[in-house]
Structure 1
Amino acid sequence: MMTNLSMNKNRFATKVVVVILIVSLIPTIFNSVFFYVSSSNIIKENVRESSLQTARQAADSLSYVLTTGSDMADLIYSNERLQEVVKQDLNEELPEAERQENHETMHSFLNENIFSSSFVRMIYVLKEEGSSWGSGNFSWFKFSQYNLQELDWQKKTTELDGELLWQGLQFDRFSGAGENTDLVLPITRVMKDFDNLNNIAYIQVFLDGNAVLDRINQIKLGKTGHFFVVDQQGNIMIHSDMEKIDQTISNEQLYHRVINRDELEFEFDDNGRYYYGVKQPLANGWTIVGIVPIQEITGQLLTIQTIVVLTSIVFGILAMMIGYFFANRVTDPIKVLTRQMKLVGEGDFNVRTNVRTSDEIGVMSMEFNRMLEKVEHLMDQVKIEQVQKKEAELRAVKHRINPHFLFNTLSTIRWLVKFNQVDRANTALAALTKLLEANMGKKGTFVTVKEELDIIEKFIDIMQIRYEQTFHLKLDIDQKVNDFFIPQMLLQPIVENAIFHGIVPTGMEGMIQISGRKIDDKVEIVIQDNGKGMDEETLNQIQHALRPMNKSVGIGLLHIFDSINLYFGPDSAIEIESSEKGTIVKLIMKPKNRGENHV
């Protein structure tokens, strides 16, 4: 029983559970319950009522401004003296003095009324023919540049037949001498002849757009919340961002809550960010809408948050004091074991852990050391087996190359003897003897580059006799490269392919150039011929076949490729280029270890 109790105390899981329980469980439960209950009550009882009150203030303030504009339009509409001035303007028989008096009456009336209200910016009385009048900086020249019937508001105003047409914020196009700089909120209606109710002019009252925006911006909703105004169709009419004017509300949730629902407060989602919104109707039928991120509204919970933070700090300090002792005992062995595992992951199999605890970490450490020993032993075995397997494959390839070449050479010698060409037969036999000596392994697996080139010279002698063509061999080999050790028959298959596939089909004398250079820690040997070369498709097939794990290439090139991969470092490579002028094969060989291959 005492043994089981001791094991339970030393269990890693027991230590973790104790630390988590003390450090996290108690303060987490307390903070969650207290914060949830308190914040919910405050949001429901205080924040929403405050936001609605703010929205009502914004609506009352803006409605006052809009009512000022509509009253001004009614005043001009109902003024019979102004109607007479408009009707008499087209009377060509009207004396010039009386006409001038009419103009002064109209200008005086319009200018006096814009000064009577701080929110009315401009007043225009516009006609399609004859004179048009405007207060302040009205520019007859600018007005004359437009066809009144083509303006977007003209048709709508005519259809309303005396009712007010409200438009969104815009810049006044008819005032001043330069660019349009006056931001206005237009109110438009037709002026009628009360005698026959015919339309005789258009009345435009422009509210000061900057004053309207100031009224809205003075009322705050959170820190970044803002108000804007929409019409009955959900088009934005007043907004601090002019690019959004006359645009329909883009957020679908917000649109439906503003247009299709009666509630004065709502919530909606905008690309994953949640907003709280309020709305209020305006005097002209529009709606003022205020939105603010819900996160900002919770700023009123500062007192609760302060209590939560202070409580968390107290519990946190207590938890750290208790957990620090347990954490060190639990995590230190894990850190040691983790560092050792990272070193193994980087390829260092000589590391060993020295954790000596009695819990699961200690057991894991011992098993980790045992595993590394087994892995290291298995890797050594695999390396030896792979090298032996590859060497066996290379020997098999060489044995496949030799009989084919030997058969063709002996057949050639037989025909030379038959036709009494004894000298040529002796030359061929001498060269064949040299080649057989190398291939029968009398010099082991490796030969120097110089020895391989001696064999190639004999091989070319045989090829000249066999194909009755002249093949010149040009050598340009550094002395250090001459002494570099390479596998047997590494260069001979390349020369044979150059002769058989490149030069022989041309029927002409051939030139084979072999150069060798030492470049940094690599040796580069280049074999170049002047044969007919390869077409692009054949070259692509060979280059593809020389990639790792692809064994579709012929046995000669396969022998070269496997020799490079087995006996030289990972930066070694075979590069092949070919054109109509011949083929170039480049062997790049890097010894696996410094000093290897005696270069």
Structure 2
Amino acid sequence: MPSAILSRWKRFIDRYVKGFHSIAVQLYLLFFISILIPVLIGGYLSYQKSARMIEEQVSHVATLTIKQVRDNLDFVFKRLDDTSMRLFSSPLIQEALEGSGSSEPFEQYKLNYDAKQFLYQIIMNMPEIMDIYILDVNRENSVISSSIQSLTDPWETEWYRRIVEADGRTVWFGLSNISYLKGVDMGIPVFGVGRTVKEVETGRIIGVMFIEVRGKVLTDTLGEMRFGRTGYTYLVDEGNRFAYHGDASLYGQRSALQLPGQTEVLEVEGRQQMVIPAELGNGWKVTGIVPLEELVAGTVEIRDLTVWIALGSGVVALIMGYYVAQRIGRPLVHLSQLMHRGETGDLTVRSPIQGRNEIGRLSRSFNKMIARIQQLIERIAEEESEKKKAEIRALRYQINPHFLYNTLNTIRWMAKLQRTDDVAAMISTLVHILESSLERTGPIVTLGEELQLLEKYMIIQQYRYNNGVTLSVQCPQELSGLTMPRMLLQPVVENAIFHGIAPRDDKGSVGITVYRQGEDAVIVIEDDGVGIPAEKLPYLLGGAGGSRTGGMTRIGLSHVHQTLQLYYGSDYGVTVESREGTGTRVQLTFPIRQKEDAYVQSSAG
């Protein structure tokens, strides 16, 4: 009996051990481990890094926000300080405080009136200012912008004493629900800035200035500045008293928190909070308070999400591992799909299947085959591109001899007539045109450069036709920078002059109009020449009829048409409209491109 049990256990263990040699079991275990272990490791590392990044990013954003608030407040305070300096240095204020020196009351009244008008002007330009008091230390010639009487004696107030003790330095006063100047609740919080006014020559204090400002300037900037659900921002003066706080009852009270010199995590109100201080130009400090638990609240969600992802990945790994083990033929199906994609033209496909078995070797052979086919097609495409470029150059070389023959013939006749100056000017212009056709900067130019070349070409035509041909160009400035193949407009204009205007007995004109049509540029070249017979129009762009239909007219227009199609495709090119005795209209259409990204079409593309 015991031997039977042992034999049974031995057979069970042997069958279990042999199961590990099965490729199905190996695939199952490998798939399960390869999914679950990376998810667990990646999830843990992702959680740690995400938590660190979120804390750093939130801290960085909060610091930048506080700095931006500091800059905004500095701008406000600098503007108010500049206003106080303007009043301090005003000769009008100086004279009003010192008195006219005349026994006539009217003279003193006039000085005081002018000074008040000056204050009103400042208040009109700075609506945030409520009132400006400039008190004479002798209580005789004070300049006050408000007609409302103060309930307190200004010369006996705390702010008056502090300004006098400051001896010319700017003194700032934080938000208060009670007006500093009136001594009553004005319904809105106010703050102020003050300084003494000194006699220019002796430096003797002759007055005390106080500018009372609407607190909306501060409350609007700081009231909406919150960090998280319970974070907040406040402002303290040099004595660490609240110049602003979300709780208006704390205005003027001393803060229990001693601010650090830089961002630190401190215990505030019984909680760990990040304190972000920033000092203003007037000595005050704006401070952001960010609760630490809110700062890292997002990381808790990431941690929970990571746990759920790990659990879900474990379940998925069990199911998929079993599925792959049972369906060993799946890699072959996938490889067949990749072959089908390659057959349809997608040569970017690569098989991810690895291994030393037959499937792995087949996968590597497939990848090598696709890569080789892709290399061959790229080589064919490159050769086709070079072939098209050679065709474009050949078309251009058909045009240049004809243009050169006409120009040299004109120079020959001018030389016979001994017009040496004109010959020199014409040869100089010809040199510029030929130099541009050398393509030293490439076959692509801007429309502006092409029009400049056309202007040089028209100089030659003016000599040739005794100023009998005029050219007008209408091109919007924003289209002058678009790119196009070189030497496209000159053949069309030359045909318009030679075959359209020259056969006439009187003068003629050529007009060029450039405009935008959707994403394309359209160039229209019109002349008022003799026109083209209707039976020749179908052959001008290289159709049936060969070189007998139009001579160089067909070659020039065919060159332009084929060049545009070789560069931009069959949707672009040249269209020709003409009526005998009226003139000809040639239209060039090509896509708008502001950089030299034109391309040559190829059959492989």
TM-score band (shorter)?
0.3 to 0.5
Larger Rg: 1
Provide the TM-score with structure 1 as the length reference. Answer: 0.42
Question: TM-score scaled to structure 2, two decimals?
Answer: 0.42
